[in-house]
Amino acid sequence: MKIAYFDCFSGISGDMIMGACLDLGVDLAELRHELTKLNLPGFELQVEKVKKCGIAGTKVNVLVEEGPHPHRHLKDIEEIINRSDLKQNVKDLSMRIFNRLAAAEAKIHATTLERVHFHEVGSLDAIVDIVGSAICQDILAVDEVYCSKLNVGSGFVNCQHGVMPVPAPATLELLCGVSIYAFGPEKELVTPTGAAIISTVSRGFGPLPGMLVEKVGYGAGERDLEIPNLLRVLLGSRLAQETEVQQGHHAHAKLG
């Protein structure tokens, strides 16, 4: 069984996820080709190798053409994804993430799913982040995802609605039930998009599970901080003993 462990010592965002997956070996040409299946013009991926505190990682920038971009509703995004030529499992995962994100936004702004305006989250770069992350998981053929506790940062951030505390309200809503902490710079380290993706795909948040590590990838963030602004993803297989222990726990739970 192939598993991935997301080590979020410096937070997480959609572009950091794609960067880490490319660092793990996802072919950039394949990712770009799959994203063309969205049939959405006006963007391109810029990818480069960078160093953060001396550690090399892959930085992904989603470059969007200048000009007005629509504020999309959930139904608009659903139509884009359903009309696309993406694999069905990629479509399904992408919509699970967007539905979770929409539910958080609706609760924070006291509105309904149908009336949520995604603003920044519904913009083209965020659609690419979410769908691109789903594509990467499919290419890597990951069976299960686990994650560390999330370093969310602190301070304040400017957004569409004004100055917000960190974590931003929608981010914090998405992370209910998730182990979080704040360490290091007074910056936003977990974005709403990153929170929506990882809270949808991860089976748990805590210590590194017993695994045989085959590859390690680093996805770089935008900033240069006093801590490495990187997302580290470990890819490998679960140790046989770990699997047996988990199966034993499940069997015990059923008998109980």
Give CA–CA dist 69/122, Å, rounded: 10
In which domain, by residue range, is 188 found? 2-255
Tens digit of each residue's pLDDT, the chain (256 residues): 999 999 999 999 999 999 999 999 999 999 999 999 999 998 999 999 999 999 999 999 999 887 766 778 899 999 999 999 999 999 999 999 999 999 998 999 888 887 776 654 447 888 999 999 999 999 999 999 999 999 999 999 887 768 999 999 999 999 999 999 999 999 999 999 999 999 999 999 999 999 999 999 999 999 999 999 999 999 999 987 655 445 444 444 444 4
Would you state the structure tokens that stand for residue 195, as one six-digit string?
């929170």
Would you state the structure tokens that stand for residue 114, as one six-digit string?
């149908």
* Domain count across the chain: 1
Give CA–CA dist 58/215, Å, rounded: 14
Q: Which residue has the tokens 């305006």?
A: 117
Helix or strand holding residue 27 (H, E): none
Which pairing describes strands 230-238 and 2-7: parallel, antiparallel, or unpaired? antiparallel
Give CA–CA dist 47/30, Å, rounded: 14
